[in-house]
Amino acid sequence: MIFDRLLTLLPTRRLGPFLAPRTIWIALWRGCRDRCPACDGARLFGKFLKPLDRCPACGQDWTHHVADDFPPYLVILVTGHIVVTGMTLLEAAFHPPSWVHIALWVPLVILLSIGLIQPAKGGVIAYQWWHGMGGFGARQPLRIAEPAAAAALPEHALTAARIAPIAGDLDAGS
């Protein structure tokens, strides 16, 4: 039941650029997919583990993240659970020689570690941004870096996502 509720909160299709996430789950999903958690309009990482300084689509500053040791800890935790469970089950069922364990589990550990570190870091950055941790402060209504992009969006999208052009004033419409 809880898992079903979680799945209803995750996006089943691309939400499109410039839409602010409604829930933390959407922000986490975007971060884990190497997308800007704030707008989903651009990549989060410029290099494998180096986030961009600013999102080119919405202008969100990502220099405030403090995702230092937690992403590797998450990767070690997940990889360890998968590998130790697999090793235990394989050993209990077949009693293979040690070289089989080495040939099977060492490459799996390497692949899991490389494959999970960027999504883990993206998720941690998204979590910090959502909760205003570190230097992020409280989340502000999303602003579009390109005023022309704001003009292309329908009015209901601007209102629903609380988006305003950078040049404009958020309170000017009220």
Considering only CA atoms, give the Rg of the chain.
Answer: 20
Q: How many CA atoms lie within 13 A of 52 on its CB side?
A: 18
pLDDT of residue 137: 75
pLDDT at 109: 98
- Indicate if the alpha-carbon torsion angle 154, 6, 86, 67 is positive or negative: positive
The span from the first CA to the last CA of the chain, in angstroms, equals: 41
Which conformational region is residue 95 in: left (phi greater than 0), alpha (psi within -120 to 50 degrees), or beta? left
9's enclosing H/E stretch is helix 2-9
Say what the pTM is. 0.72
User: Closest Cα to residue 145, out of 79, 82, 52?
Assistant: 52
Tell me the average confidence (pLDDT) per consecutive run of 10 residues in the chain, 174 residues long: 52 53 93 95 95 92 92 98 98 97 98 98 96 78 56 49 42 45
Asked if residue 168 lies in contact with residue 80, where contact means CB atoms within 8 angstroms, the answer is no
- Predicted confidence at residue 168, as pLDDT, reads 43
